């Protein structure tokens, strides 16, 4: 649209009529989406303000998630190591060898 008296990009959108919605259900969906958008934008503003006011909380949260990630990786590596050991023992037993796992050993559960 070419308007001579408009200086900002948002002004033609204000002059443009709202989108045509066909049914009441379409209007209700549109209203719901607009409310969700407003809520999410307000939530983002509030979180940005909280981060500015309390940087120590942000640092503590980042440290928590970093520790949790390291712990999860260590647990995953331990599970993989235990599984590999159990599989190797299964191969030994299947090839008519004897296992160094006892009959009540927890490591049999890893198989």
Q: Judge whether 73 lies within some domain.
A: yes
pLDDT in tens, 40-90: 999 999 999 999 999 999 999 999 999 999 999 999 999 999 888 888 877
The tally of domains found in the chain comes to: 1
Query: Regarding predicted confidence, which is higher, 111 or 38?
Result: 38
Alpha helices (H) along the chain: 11-15, 24-53, 55-94
Q: What is the average pLDDT value for the chain, to the nearest integer?
A: 82
6 vs 68: CA distance, rounded Å = 54
- b/e 81-106 (16+ beta carbons within 10 angstroms → b): eeeeebeebeeeeeeeeeeebeeeee
Query: Regarding predicted confidence, which is higher, 81 or 23?
Result: 81
The pTM score is: 0.49
What was the pLDDT predicted at 52?
95
Is the per-residue pLDDT at 111 higher than 60?
no
Structural domain range at position 79: 69-111
Q: Judge whether 5 lies within some domain.
A: no
């Amino acid at each position: 649209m070419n308007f001579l008296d408009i200086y900002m990009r948002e002004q033609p959108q204000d002059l443009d009529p709202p989108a045509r919605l066909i049914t009441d259900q379409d209007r209700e969906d549109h209203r719901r989406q607009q409310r969700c958008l407003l809520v999410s934008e307000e939530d983002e503003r509030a979180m940005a303000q909280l981060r500015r006011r309390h940087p120590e909380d942000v640092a503590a949260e980042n440290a928590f998630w970093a520790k949790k990630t390291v712990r999860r990786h260590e647990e995953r590596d331990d599970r993989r190591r235990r599984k590999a050991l159990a599989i190797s023992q299964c191969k030994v037993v299947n090839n008519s060898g004897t296992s160094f796992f006892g009959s009540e050993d927890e490591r049999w559960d890893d198989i």
